[in-house]
Amino acid sequence: MERHQGIFHKTTVQSVQLQQASHQASHQASAAAGSKRPYPETSKLDQQVQFQRASVLNKESSRLKASDIVACDPCANTVPSEYSQRKILSATPTSTVDRSLSLSFFRYALPEALVANLNGLGIKEIYPWQKQCLLGPGLLDGARNLVYSAPTGGGKSLVADILMLKRVLEDRNAKALLVLPYVALVQEKVRWLRSIVQDIKRQTIEVDEDKDKDKKNLWQKRADEDSIRVVGFFGGNKIRATWLDFDIGVCTFEKANMLINTAIDDCNITNLRAVVLDELHMVDDDHRGYLMELIATKLLSLEHRVQIIGMSATLANIELLSKWLEAHMYRTHYRPVPVEEHLVYEGKVYAASSTTSLLRTASQLKQNPGSSLEATSPPVREIQPSHHKEFKDTVLNAVVALANETARSGYGVLVFCSSRQGCESNARLISRVLPQSSEVDLATAERRSDLLGDLRSLSTGLDHILAETIPCGVAFHHAGMTTEERDLVSTAYDSGVLRVIVATCSLAAGINLPARRVILHGARMGRDLVGPSMLRQMRGRAGRKGKDEIGETYLCCRKDDLEDVVALMHADLPQVSSGLTTDKHRIQRALLEVIAIKLVNSRESIDEYIKKTLLSVTSSTDLITEHVDNSLRELVEMGFIQRDEFESFTATQLGKAVVASALEPEDGAFVHREMTRALRAFVMDGEMHILYTFTPVQELSVIVNWQIFRSEMEALDESGLRVMTLIGLKPSVINRLAQGGTLKESTKAEKEIARVYRRFYLALQLRDLCNEVPVHVVARKYDMPRGTVQTLEQTCQGFAAGMIKFCEKMGWGAMAAILDHFSDRLKAGAKADLLALAKVTFIKSRTARVFYDNGFKTVALIANADPKELVPVLMQVRIAQPTKLRYKSKDEQKFEEKLLAKAQVITDSANRLWQAEMQQDLDEE
């Protein structure tokens, strides 16, 4: 029986499905051309008619067929791959059992609870290379540092985890830091570490019960005092973190550097026993990598021993890094899951059992551009041309065909594209060749429907492209999506709900989603060719231990890029070097920090500190001395440090404020000028001046839409216009730029005023976010991706915390209090009357306003409410979004069940907050 959707026409998909039935019924009379189409019978219409608004119906695209992939010579006797040999020779005799591969081996001295937790997570023994690495000289007892390199998926993280946990467990006061480049990796690592330290108890301290009897009565033992507390540090936080908050801190570069600075300044750094530096190859990253060098150099300069563990999958000059860190060096190329690599060129698939043969294949193609390689290096398979106009491009046709082949076989596929738009376009095309929701098993269709419901319940609503692709098991993943969207998509892929994810190249290092087959749609990131390290990271995602027997990579090369691809394949990994002497003068920050935290105070101690940097290993002494002299002189001129008659250096109040707020010296000088001007004339009858102060000064690569800027400027009230005047913005300039003019940035003064214009443009977006305008509405208003707006919101929270510390260090208490209040508003995304409600889980921004308007104006009212009472309120939030459906259906009933579960979480959270408030009131009485 047909299923009607409330609009009496058939989609293209439905028409195709009914073609065969129409041909079989050809003896029946057809309606004349142009005649009115007959409507179905009334009895059919009465059965489960589900009406929808036309604006919310998904416009289904026509089905496509992926090109066939055929073997060029099925009868050829090819050399068996490594995987094939493993299967054929599975009965080959092996050596006796190696007891040292067991986690319970006596040399490792791991607690039984830790071994049990790892066994429960599927890690019952370690690889031979991990054993050799762990048993390196002085590693298990923490006497030596370690730098090692292992391929992605080779198990390198477990080595660092074991060494770090041994340092934490040998002393109940010991602390450890694990440093990662991205927030997503920090969150993932926190979950992993909490699972492996569960139920592990530290050695208790024996006390004299008679002597400490009175003390026990006064102080109650903390519930988690004997356990290992794993805490993630990232983003903005008003609360100053201390060593008492954690045993293992998992941090971003910025947070780790700040924690170490604070600990050295507070003289409690002696509790730090181990620091793990993951993705060590990023140490020369021009944007953030230098912070890793600052962290390691400060650790090497301490008087007590801190074990430094550095690891990466892409280290070319590992010998240099081991020399710098005074570390034991280990390198392995082992991968538990073998990977077969392929080059796809002009519809031909050229196999390579090793990188060398792959490079040889590419070189032959380069040398013979006018002819095929079938004579010298015949392809193993060929992708047939497509008759669809959408697949006329051979590279796109190959990508879709390869993804379709793997997904239909039940394996996961990861496709890398050069742009966000390319991700979305590829996802749509791949979904059109895969089985639709009606063609998959019921359980899978239900899980994909649940995923759509989860995405629909987000404040941003359901993206219309994801609504089209997810029923077919395909999604995209890029920075233009919100964090919640990316988390749901990645979790669904990891659990098998989705078969294909199309991601940008820039997320190759940050996304931990291995796949059976990795497909590279070209070798470019935007317009530029990807680097050798990025290429290796993308290809390293192939193969999943425990789920795949083999991994496959396919680099689909465009004809015009063949020469560049060959050069990229032949290129060695870049040599890692120091980032302290680039044009951005990172060495200034290095010197300011160690002077402010009193790690050095004389030229001699500065020279000793510099000798421990990576810079001293990679540059000449004369060049280093010149950079240090110039940097010290400029820091004195900027008023950050001062030198006394004994040639001792001390940080000024301004210098300490810059370090406390984690600003670059140049940015700190800009902030000081802006804040000094604001203190002379601060606009208090509006919120624009405060929000402008919140807006980050760092370069955020924002593209200003000057027409929108002009429109927002014209809508400002008198208070907002006064703010523009005070910070130096001119309406005439904005009008000129809106008409096609160019913002001049040739001189230093012009660059500074350009920064002010961009900063105020972002402040306008912050104004909307603080006044309960949802992220997706702000994104649409300012013509920006919703993920970019959310990133701005999160970045501003961190910058606001830094600005509060800056004001406190400068003695501007009143300004700090004002910023503190608005920091709460920014975090809540709401006005002042909703700040209490916004502390409740899931209640933020517009959701808080809907609760408030429905009578739930306090935390106590929510805490005492029946969860069923909250479901209609949550439904109001959903209905307010334009993409939400309003009809009663099975999906709607399932969604209401999810809302009920969400309401239960809300009431539980409100109860905890309410009880804490009541306890505080009792304590005050």
Q: So what's the pLDDT on residue 610? A: 94
In this prediction, residue 74 has a pLDDT band, given cuts at 50, 70 and 90, of low
Q: So what's the pLDDT on residue 54? A: 40
Checking DSSP bridges between strand 339-345 and strand 474-477, what pairing results, if any? unpaired
Residue 908 CA to residue 799 CA, distance in Å, equals: 31
Q: Are 343 and 358 in contact (CB under 8 A)?
A: yes
871 Cβ contact partners less than 8 Å away, ≥ 6 residues apart:
896, 899, 900, 903
pLDDT of 351 over the 60 cut: yes
Checking DSSP bridges between strand 517-521 and strand 649-651, what pairing results, if any? unpaired
Write down the pTM of the prediction: 0.82
**How does pLDDT run across 693-733, given as a tens digit for each residue?**
888 887 667 789 999 999 999 999 999 999 999 999 999 99
Instruction: Give the percent of the chain with pLDDT over 90.
Output: 36
DSSP state of 572: P
For the segment 624-628, the average pLDDT, to the nearest whole number, is 91
Q: So what's the pLDDT on residue 313? A: 85
Main-chain dihedrals φ then ψ at residue 345, nearest 5 degrees: -140, 120
Poorest-pLDDT segment among 175-179, 401-405, 880-884: 880-884
Residue 829 CA to residue 769 CA, distance in Å, equals: 5
Which ranges in 409-441 belong to alpha helices (H)? 420-431
Q: So what's the pLDDT on residue 775? A: 87
**How does pLDDT run across 577-623, given as a tens digit for each residue?**
888 876 667 899 999 999 999 999 999 999 999 999 999 998 888 88
Q: Are 330 and 133 in contact (CB under 8 A)?
A: yes
Q: Are 398 and 556 in contact (CB under 8 A)?
A: yes
